[in-house]
């Protein structure tokens, strides 16, 4: 373990099997938390460019390599019954809930003419409605623990790009964060968002080499983020060190948005 900022706390990370969610889950485990990995599949996704050799499930890595506590719960966050069951199983297993990380998300490439109505609804269902469902069922327990919600947005939260459903959902995540912050401030439940830029995850496979280079050029630093970089931001926002950070969106983007505001 690297530290113990979250020792004996219980954290749900949706979409925790792969990519950014996996990085967040591992960082919370390193900080001593009990981690519930909630995802539609336990096996991590492998990419053609990134995470090419990732094979062991996140919960297994936490238990066997990090010596932590972790549970996998099969969850489709776009199904409110699944979201409710995920929270209930977490509380039954660990006795409560301290942190909800709404990370689960999907991306379908295409513009307004290419994306079908069904695909639009699918992305909104996971990326936006799913975050609301999970928060709805987690909030009563977070009020008891005076816990935290960390929502995962995107650089596309404030600019076009990524397609109509993705950009719309990620922009809405920022305002959902603000709205929950207004609702939960008196209950001492901190709510914030992280908006990543380019991160080394399998989702990048959809891009051509030319498109990939445009993304890299948009990043001001001479390197891009790993999932653990987003995890570092998440463990901070859910810690006592961030007790007065509330209703904010932290852009962890290597300077992406510094020249586009």
Catalytic machinery residues: 166
CA pair distance 162, 154, nearest whole angstrom: 10
Neighbours of 84 (CB within 10 A): 15
Q: What is the DSSP letter of 251?
A: E
CA pair distance 86, 208, nearest whole angstrom: 36
Residue by residue, DSSP assigns 41-93 as -SSPP--SSSSTT--S-HHHHHHHTS--EEEEEE--TTSHHHHHHHHHHHHHH
* Residue whose entry in the numeric block shows the structure tokens 């109505």: 117
CA pair distance 37, 48, nearest whole angstrom: 24
């Amino acid at each position: 373990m690297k530290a113990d900022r979250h020792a004996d706390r219980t954290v749900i990370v949706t979409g925790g099997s792969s990519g950014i969610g996996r990085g967040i889950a591992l960082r919370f485990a390193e900080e001593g938390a009990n981690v519930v990995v909630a995802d539609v599949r336990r096996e991590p996704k492998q990419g053609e460019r990134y995470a090419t050799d990732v094979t062991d499930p996140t919960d297994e890595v936490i238990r066997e390599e990090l010596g932590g506590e972790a549970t996998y719960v099969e969850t489709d966050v776009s199904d409110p019954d699944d979201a409710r069951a995920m929270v209930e199983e977490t509380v039954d297993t660990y006795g409560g809930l301290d942190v909800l990380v709404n990370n689960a998300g999907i991306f379908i490439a295409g513009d307004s003419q290419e994306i079908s109505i069904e695909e639009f609804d699918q992305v909104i269902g996971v990326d936006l409605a799913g975050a609301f469902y999970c928060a709805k069922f987690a909030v009563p327990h977070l009020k008891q623990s005076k816990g935290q919600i960390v929502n995962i947005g995107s650089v596309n939260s404030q600019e076009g790009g990524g397609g109509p459903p993705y950009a719309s959902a990620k922009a809405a995540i920022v305002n959902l964060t603000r709205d929950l912050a207004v609702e939960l401030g008196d209950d001492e439940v901190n709510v914030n968002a992280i908006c990543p830029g380019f991160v080394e995850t399998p989702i990048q496979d959809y891009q051509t080499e030319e498109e990939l280079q445009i993304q890299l050029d948009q990043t001001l630093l001479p390197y891009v983020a790993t999932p653990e970089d987003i995890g570092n931001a998440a463990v901070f926002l859910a810690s006592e060190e961030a007790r007065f950070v509330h209703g904010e969106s932290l852009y962890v983007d290597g300077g992406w948005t510094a020249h586009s505001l």
